[in-house]
Each structure stands twice: as structure tokens, then as C-alpha cells.
Amino acid sequence: MQVQLLNPVATDRLGQLPPLVYCPGSDGTGNSIAPQLPGLTAAGFDVRCLYIPPSDRSDWNELTRQVVALLPLLIFSTFTRQVTLVAESYGGCLGLRVAVAAPELIQRLVLVNPATSFSRALSGLPAIIASTNLLSLFPEPLYQVAQAVLVPLLVDKDNVGPTGVKAIQSMMVMQPTPDFQLYEPAVTASWRLRMLRKGNVPDADLMRIRAPTLIVASAADRLLPSLEESARLVGKIPDARRVVLPNSGHTALLESGISLAEIMGRTGFLPEWMSSREGSAAMAHKQAMAIPW
């Protein structure tokens, strides 16, 4: 199975709305965007999620090539010529590469805690795991223990509640393949961690990005130095700005009270004809998440 674009929201206006493509974190599932779908669809986007199957072993160049090949097919089915690209964590490394490789296809780029700082942030045990094949050797029970250790680094349970924590755990656990002795999620996680060691994008490429770029950074990210990295990227990408989420962790899009549509609206990252719908988008998101005003 190859990388593909999935449509997570059924709509009778398929092909009539501007496309927004979500590049997921290292889980490759796109589940993290789920809480944001009501707000984004209310704002008028046709949301598509990039799905990277656990069996995929593409390097950054091949992964970029596959995504760039998918986008014209999506654009052809809509009335627009470009897409809005939202890229989170691991997906941020990919989103930047796509914006460099195919600037004519990207209208706006939104990065959420991009993992471009991963290689500089490593120390201790994470460095050993990422630089070796150790994680791929974990049997299922040990990998599940590793999840319990990682979840507090990814999210503040008080911000997401039990549903959000469960979503993160489901993103970390993929269905094991009976034909393999090794546990597939562990093998996949090992591969993608090793990719992240080379996830940074050269400064010269960052300076070539033409799309207006919004960088959403969590001040309480315990996994990566997202504040420092977002400031660095703003200084390199020509048309970039930053929004800081003061109390959010690494997986901010899963958190209660975080509306990506509202953030994009107040920073001018919705298409002009959609900007007037910003208020209704934020309201729809909050109602869907049962968050009081």
C-alpha cells in the first residue's frame, strides 16, 4: 500500500471547496486532526488527510515525491489551483519539503510544532533509540510500556481528557501483522525516528519557500523545543509568522479549546471569502467539542 489521501468527512460538496491537506505526525494515520474537522469544514475547507501506511519505508525524497504527485490529482478535482497544507510534528518536516519541491501547488503552509529540531533536541535514551534499531526489536508488551512513558511527553492529560489520551494511544498502536515476528508498530516507529534525525530542512531551502507560512508553537511542548524552533523558522522563511499556544503540549490539535480554524482566521490564513465565516467556524468547533464560551 502506498501513501494516499483520505477524505475523513463525508460531504455533498466534494470537489466544490478549497482543499486542505493534513500531513500527520509519525503515526501516519491523520487521527490527530479529528477534533479540528468540525471547525475546518465549517470554515469551508475540503479536508484530506495524508495516510502513510506502517509498511512504508520511503525516505524523505521519496515521500516528498509521492505527495507532490498526489496534489495535482486533488487540485484537478476542485475549482482551485492550490492547496492549503497543514503539517504537524513529523509531518512538518514533510510539509516543508513539499513546499520547496512544488511551490506552485501550495497556497498556504501551516506548521504545528514541526519536528525539524529533532536531531538537535535529542539527548540520553531518546538519542540511543533514534540512532539505532533498538525500538524495532521491542516485542509488543515492551512497546506498550514505552507508550506509557511517551504519552506524558506528547500531551497534558488535563488539556485533552481521557478521549484525547485514548486517541494518542490509538495513533501509537497499529495492528500487528501476523506474518511478521517483530511487532509492526515498533518497527515503523524505529524507521520514522531514524528519519527524523535527518528531518531538518537546509536554510537555503527554507528561504526559497514562497507560500505564506504560519507556525503554531506550543510553549509547554515537553518533547521538542518548539518555541525556539518556531522562532528560528520564522527568521528563515520569507513570509512567515508565529502563534504561540502558552499552555499546550506537543499534540496541541487534540487539546480542548484549541481551534485551528480560529487561529487561521485571526492570522489571515483563511481564503478571503472564507474569513467572514471565521466566527461560525470557531463556534461550530466549540459546540462539537462541548466547550463552554
User: How much is the average pLDDT of 211-236?
Assistant: 95
Q: Are 117 and 226 in contact (CB under 8 A)?
A: yes
Per-residue model confidence (pLDDT) at position 128 = 46
Only one residue has cell 515492551, namely 142
Most confident of 154-163, 206-215, 275-284: 206-215
Per-residue model confidence (pLDDT) at position 11 = 66
Least confident of 14-23, 31-40, 209-218: 14-23
Does residue 236 carry a pLDDT above 60?
A: yes
Nearest to 196 by CA among 60, 290, 21: 60
Domains of the chain: which residue ranges? 4-288
Q: Are 253 and 32 in contact (CB under 8 A)?
A: yes
d(CA 214, CA 211): 10
Average pLDDT, the chain: 79
- pLDDT band at 161, cuts 50/70/90? low
**Under 8 Å CB-to-CB from 290, ≥6 apart: which residues?**
none
Does residue 150 carry a pLDDT above 70?
A: no
pTM of the model: 0.79
Q: What is the pLDDT of residues 65-75, one digit of tens each?
A: 999 999 999 99
Per-residue model confidence (pLDDT) at position 158 = 60
Q: What is the pLDDT of residues 56-67, one digit of tens each?
A: 999 999 999 999
Q: What is the pLDDT of residues 33-51, one digit of tens each?
A: 989 999 999 998 999 999 9
Coil, helix or strand for 214? strand
- pLDDT band at 107, cuts 50/70/90? very high
Nearest to 119 by CA among 91, 137, 93, 95: 93
- 4-288 domain in CATH 3.40.50.1820? yes
